[in-house]
Amino acid sequence: MLTSKDAQLLVSLVEHGVCANSPSLEVLQPIGLWHLSENHQSLVASRKLIELRQSLPSCNDTVAAILATQESYQTAWSKVVAAQLKDAGSRKDETALIDQVTQLGNAAQNVLSQIERASLQATGFADVESLILGQLAEQSASYPKLLRALAVAATIKHVGVDVDEISKIESKNTSAAWQANRLIQIPDTGRLIKPPSEYLLDGNVSARDSDNQQCLEWLQANPWAYLLAHLTYTQDIWRSEQIAGGLRLEIEPSQAKHFMQPNDIQVVVTTRDDLEISCGTLAELLLRTWIA
């Protein structure tokens, strides 16, 4: 049975593309979501795991779906979902019932098989559920997450021995690292020194030597600076060519005193017809670009 420690390792794998190897995770090996590093000390995300993460709202949702592929979690969570469906049926809430069954997709049959054992009692996985779901599975706030986890788990197929591995990063060929499904480390303050990874682009925007003339190479080796450079370049092109519309970065008036380090930076695109469209925060835009 997978424990909260295993779940934490899975969260790290989904967030960073790599985590320490653990024998207890071997039960998930046939799903094909990772492969072993050459020294067998680490698990490295496969393209399948990256695509799975892209299809779900968060890392925790991804881990919940992975756990739901295991019979113990699938059965326990199916009993909880079955109890919720029975409650909707007893209230004759047909709209909610139809919507929830539809969300289950291919997992509906498994839930139906547990209808006689439906229960909102504790599942016995409290530590894991608190970590991944934010509360216990039987609590109402977990219900949408369980529906999603079971539905996605039902679509995850075993791949056997073949795993679609991501390629290693070649230190002297940074341009080759910029490809679909490349993993990029979330930037931090630079105070935390992390060991280099053969599969993970460094997310820190490290300082560049003023005498270094190879600016393009530096940008390619510093992915978040590279993405910001593209954003700035797009703004400059629109401005210089006087193209109708544009892209603007804004902060809340309350953040004016902290303009160098605002809590959020909003991205607003102006169309040719002078319509302003909010695209969320700059962080969200860069993260979408990162996982694209």
Closest among 61, 54, 85 to 146, alpha carbons compared: 61
pLDDT at 129 over 80: yes
CA distance 50 to 165: 11
Pairing assessment for the beta strands 18-20 and 42-45 based on DSSP bridges: antiparallel
Mean pLDDT calculated for residue range 272-291: 72
pLDDT at 134 over 80: yes
**Residue keyed to tokens 């460094």:** 202
pLDDT at 27 over 70: yes
Of residues 83 and 249, the one with the higher pLDDT is 83
Tokens of 151: 């539905």
For residue 91, name the pLDDT band (cuts at 50, 70, 90).
Answer: confident
Mean of per-residue pLDDT scores for the chain: 80
Mean pLDDT calculated for residue range 34-44: 85
Mean pLDDT calculated for residue range 15-21: 85
Mean pLDDT calculated for residue range 250-270: 78
pLDDT at 160 over 80: no
**Residue keyed to tokens 């069954």:** 101
Lowest mean pLDDT among 120-134, 180-194, 221-235, 239-253: 180-194
Closest among 83, 88, 67 to 8, alpha carbons compared: 67
pLDDT at 151 over 60: yes
With beta carbons less than 8 A apart as the criterion, state whether 180 and 50 touch: no
Angle at 220 between CA 217 and CA 225, to 5 degrees: 115
- Phi and psi torsions of 195, nearest 5°: -65, 145
Q: What is the pLDDT of residue 26?
A: 87
CA distance 156 to 153: 5
With beta carbons less than 8 A apart as the criterion, state whether 33 and 49 touch: yes
Q: Give the predicted TM-score (pTM) of the model.
A: 0.70
Of residues 63 and 39, the one with the higher pLDDT is 63
Percent of the chain residues topping a pLDDT of 70 = 75
Lowest mean pLDDT among 90-94, 126-130, 212-216: 212-216
For residue 126, name the pLDDT band (cuts at 50, 70, 90).
Answer: very high
Q: Where are the domains of the chain?
A: 1-166, 174-290
Q: What is the pLDDT of residue 192?
A: 46
Handedness of CA 103, 107, 112, 116 (dihedral sign): negative
Q: What is the pLDDT of residue 39?
A: 82
For residue 7, name the pLDDT band (cuts at 50, 70, 90).
Answer: very high
Q: Give strand ranges (E) for 57-104.
A: none
Q: What is the pLDDT of residue 207?
A: 57
Q: What is the pLDDT of residue 276?
A: 85
Give the H/E segment covering residue 44.
Answer: strand 42-45
